[in-house]
Structures are given as structure tokens and as C-alpha cells.
Amino acid sequence: MPTLILVRHGQSQWNLENRFTGWWDVDLTEKGVAEAVAAGELLAAKNLLPTRAFTSLQTRAIKTLHLALEACGRLWIPETKDWRLNERHYGGLTGLDKQETRDRHGDEQVHVWRRSFDVPPPVMEDGSDYDLAADARYAGIEVPRTESLKLTIERVLPYWENEILPVLASGETVIVSAHGNSLRALVKHLSAISDDDITGLEIPTGQPIVYEFDADMKCGERQYLKDR
């Protein structure tokens, strides 16, 4: 039966430094590399071997995918990279230390920016150090200036419906290596989680989540692979 594996990238350097990352391209830490390898080793141990892969255009997700696939002997499978699986764009908060931002704007305001469903952070200014408008990987793409979780979902779900779901429905075992908020979008949809509840859902780094689908492409409960 079709099986979907979701993996949030391993710890990144800015995860470690407690900074807002969003679309900025940050590499994995040593711990992040180890988490990605461990995810692949778990896939091998559970004999859950992907046949198709999808990931974002961001290094931390791509490297996590490759490390996990190498660890389970599946580095050769077809993979597709797409910006619509990128992390939520944190706008003007990108690069800022989270605690310093709380000190400056207050806990309540930062909580709204981080955890509300439909309130985006301040817009990133043109010419910001973290402005990606001229990045070659986004040529021809209108890079967001900021995104709420709602806006992130509005780009992730059409990609799921049009690109990932048809591959899954053909009987493939699909792995998606992505980010906390792009994966929240998928989990919200697949597990029918409310707008209010999804903002509180934490998706840990490097821990594969599994959904199994029946012949009618209805999915069961989400499971962490380590618990199967």
C-alpha cells in the first residue's frame, strides 16, 4: 500500500543559535547530520524503503534527505526539489535572535508572530541582508516578503495535491524531507487538525512520521516510525 514518510530536517546552525531562519539557507550542525543519518538507519531497520523523494530548495532539507537515503541504501531513487516545500518565510524577523526579539517586542507579540495561524511577521524590506530576490534558485519565482502559517499552507497543499499525491497513489513509498511549517501544513491536512490546534504541534527534527494509505487513498493515523 502507498506509504508517506515525512522528515523534518536535522538541527540547523540557526536552530542551535535560536535565530529565525525561514527561507535563509543554513547548513546542518554535526547533531543535525547525526539526526539525518539516524533517520535513514531507522528506515533500514524497519524495512521501510522509499522509492520516490521530494524536498525543498533549502540545503538543510536536501542534505537531510541525502544523508537519510544514503544510510538506508536509497540514494539512487528519483527526487524532486521544489520551493513550495520551503520553510515558512519569516519576513523581517529572519536572522534575528529569538530571545532578543522577545526582549524588544515582548513575549506576547513574538508569540503571535510565531504561533498564530494567520498573522504574518513584519514584511522583509527590499535590500535586506536576507533578501533572496536575486538568488539563482528562485529565478522566475516571486519570493514572499513574509508568510503566516495560513499562507504557507496555501502553497504547500496545491503542491501536495498536484505533484506528491499522484505519485503516492501509483503505489510508491514517498519520503518528503522538509521543514517544521511546511510539514505542519501536510500534517494538518492529513490528520484533520484544526487551525487553532495546528499552531501548537511540534514536529521534532530527524524523526520520521509515517502515514499509510488504503486502496481508496484514505490515510490512517500518523505514527512516529520509532514507535512502530
C-alpha–C-alpha distance, residues 203 and 208, integer Å:
10
C-alpha–C-alpha distance, residues 185 and 172, integer Å:
21
Verify whether residue 202 is a known catalytic residue: no
Q: Cα 29 from chain centroid?
A: 17
Verify whether residue 17 is a known catalytic residue: no
Active-site pick, 9, 35, 89, 147: 9
Active-site pick, 30, 35, 66, 87: 87
Q: What does the chain come to in residues?
A: 228
The residues annotated with a catalytic role in the active site are 9, 87
